[in-house]
Amino acid sequence: MNEELLHIELEIYYDINDDKDVLLQNISDIIVDNETEFYKRMHKICIQYNDRANFLEESLEVQDINLENSEGIVEVSYDFDAYHGCKDIDQGDTVTDEWSFKLIGKSIIFDIKIPDLEREDEI
């Protein structure tokens, strides 16, 4: 079984002389502004919680960023909703996730594992 990676490369503007807090804010902004790039990961994670889950657009928030030299980890949260029509139950929750990244030149690069969700029948 091959591990699928979501490769995302985004252009980021920063000056090496900028304060670290400015860089961290730029990283946060670029992640939220490019939420759609991360949909595949977020959707697969949400359906691990509930097989009818739908990621709620515009719910992505950056909670924390740890940056050492040119590598880091961003902690994000996002919401999902799941409706079970036959029981008329509407559920939802918030997911917390971590994504590793690298800063290379004027790019921020993510290679994020996509969970394999193949199901096996228990018959």
Taking only the tens place, the pLDDT of each residue in 44-82 is 888 887 777 788 899 999 999 999 988 999 999 999 887
Name the residue with tokens 């991360």. 38
Q: Is 19 exposed, middle or buried (CB count within 10 Å of its CB: 0-12, 13-18, 19+)?
A: exposed
**What pLDDT, on the 0 to 100 scale, is given for residue 121?**
42
Architecture of domain 4-114: Roll (3.10)
Q: Which amino acid is at 18?
A: D
Cite the beta strand spans of 1-123 per DSSP E. Answer: 4-11, 53-55, 61-68, 71-84, 89-104, 107-114
Domain boundaries, the chain: 4-114
Q: What is the pTM of this model?
A: 0.83
Cα(81)–Cα(61) distance, integer angstroms: 16
Query: Comparing 110 with 80, which gets the higher pLDDT?
Result: 110
